Structure 1
């Protein structure tokens, strides 16, 4: 897993390298207080990254709740975090990597090869006796990183509609089945998608399962090219990271359900995989 994840012990060792950029990406659906959580306690030297404004473009029904950011703006943000060409980057959150994986995926997509997720995040760091800083950190020296977007596979709604491989829905099972929908305008899933909740990538301590367990999990979904979506392209990145950890490349559908469900031309399925499909009127 070394290409995707880093342990707390490994983090202690690499923090001696002043080139390492440490990014705090605390965000959760319905919790807008990431900046305050950062001020109350973070890993020393970490820079807070705002998922809503720095890792996404403004939301719209046509593009979804967390569209991919403009590459020029993302590069400007990365430089403000102090990232320089060739710097290793480590990202973390306090929710098992659910938000940090968005930064992992975006920076990999943008051409930064050495990006890893802290396995277990801040709780694991604290549990291992790691130091905690409070308040704001000094502004980092402006970086000079040059981004080269397009280094991770992406699909759009049309490709998702006709995907011939394995299309994984990373949301909770009840949202997939259409039993509840707390955010988006329609309940259900993309016809043909398989329910694969992102939360099942993690153990009870919020760490990624062992490689063999992840391999078994994904093997059960079948073979063929893999693509992943979720509500808005955030937790699906966690699924892509878990797949990458076991050597499986997966495409991300960034618009995800928030885009699909806002398009009245798109069919919607409910229930389990063999459930009913609601086809829009032509």
Structure 2
């Protein structure tokens, strides 16, 4: 299994060797409409700014959830503008909101680009490794990668999540415990996506991730479901699960989609 994680040292070495790399800077805060100013203050040299709300999601609402996957036509335009070619190595990163970068990884892989990597530790790790940064915005690219089909990473519908739970297959809620306790899918198990990262924003070693999920009924080779509030935190959890060989089915609509359907039950508490 090929890892979707790349270290800052490896990324810097490939960049220095002239590898065709496209860096995508993805920052997100639910209470902040636009993080472009943070990007403009400092980002990896040559990195393109990615707005999660307009480029990594479609029109949300109702049982589609808060952040459904983006439309193919719009995503194709952005991929072209970012300069992504079929053989490009695409490295996604964030400054602090690593789940947002994982959402970019998920979208690109789902759309068929099989060489997207999550920069472990994000921007801070790049700087610590000696990578250069800039406050200049790169020109639009002219990428040649074309989306032929989607679905190259598995997703799950609300019915499929309900089916997993009915057959005692683990479904993980990637929100913080407070969100889970306020309302969750009955039968789902609470594992915050923050638990797969250390205090520096690096993914935990694989044995530690395996132990975390083994304690909650999932081991390498298993299939599980995962969701969050709107499909961002669950992308990070899906990434971590896939790194240890667990087939994570990402319910992109997540709890925002589930709770919008009055026919769906909601549980509260731990």
Asked whether the two chains share a fold, i.e. TM above 0.5, the reply is yes
- Aligned residue-pair number: 262
2:172 pairs with 1:168: yes
Q: For residue 80 of structure 1, what is the aligned residue in structure 2?
A: 81
**SS of aligned partner of 2:130:** coil
Q: 4+ residue runs of structure 1 moved beyond 6 angstroms?
A: none
How far off its partner does 1:138 sit? 2.2
String of CA shifts for 1:9-37, please: whole Å, max 9, x gaps. Answer: 11111113352111111112212232111
- For residues 138-153 of structure 1, the aligned pairs below 5 Å read 138-140=139-141, 142-147=142-147, 148-153=149-154
String of CA shifts for 1:50-85, please: whole Å, max 9, x gaps. Answer: 111011002212311111111222122111110111
Residue pair 1:22, 1:89 contacting (<8 A) in 2 also: yes
Q: For residue 234 of structure 1, what is the aligned residue in structure 2?
A: 232
2:191 pairs with 1:196: yes
Query: Are residues 139 and 18 of structure 1, via their aligned partners in 2, closer, same or farther at CA, if it must alter by over 3 Å?
Result: farther
Q: For residue 241 of structure 2, what is the aligned residue in structure 1?
A: 243
Residue pair 1:78, 1:143 contacting (<8 A) in 2 also: yes
The range that moved more, 58-67 or 204-213, is 58-67
Q: What is the alpha-carbon distance in structure 2 between the residues aligned to residue 242 and residue 33 of structure 1?
A: 27
How far off its partner does 1:252 sit? 0.4
2:217 pairs with 1:217: no
Residue pair 2:20, 2:88 contacting (<8 A) in 1 also: yes
Q: Say what the alpha-carbon RMSD is for the aligned residues.
A: 1.5
**SS of aligned partner of 2:63:** coil
Q: What is the alpha-carbon distance in structure 1 between the residues aligned to residue 263 and residue 46 of structure 2?
A: 48
Residue pair 1:96, 1:120 contacting (<8 A) in 2 also: no
Q: What is the alpha-carbon distance in structure 2 between the residues aligned to residue 135 and residue 222 of structure 1?
A: 47
Gaps of 5+ in 2: none
How far off its partner does 1:212 sit? 0.8
What is the TM-score when the length of structure 1 is the normalising length? 0.89
Gaps of 5+ in 1: 179-187, 273-282
Higher helix share: 2
- For residues 102-141 of structure 1, the aligned pairs below 5 Å read 102-140=103-141
Q: What is the alpha-carbon distance in structure 2 between the residues aligned to residue 220 and residue 50 of structure 1?
A: 36
How far off its partner does 1:161 sit? 1.7
Query: Are residues 2 and 30 of structure 1, via their aligned partners in 2, closer, same or farther at CA, if it must alter by over 3 Å?
Result: farther
Query: Are residues 58 and 32 of structure 1, via their aligned partners in 2, closer, same or farther at CA, if it must alter by over 3 Å?
Result: same
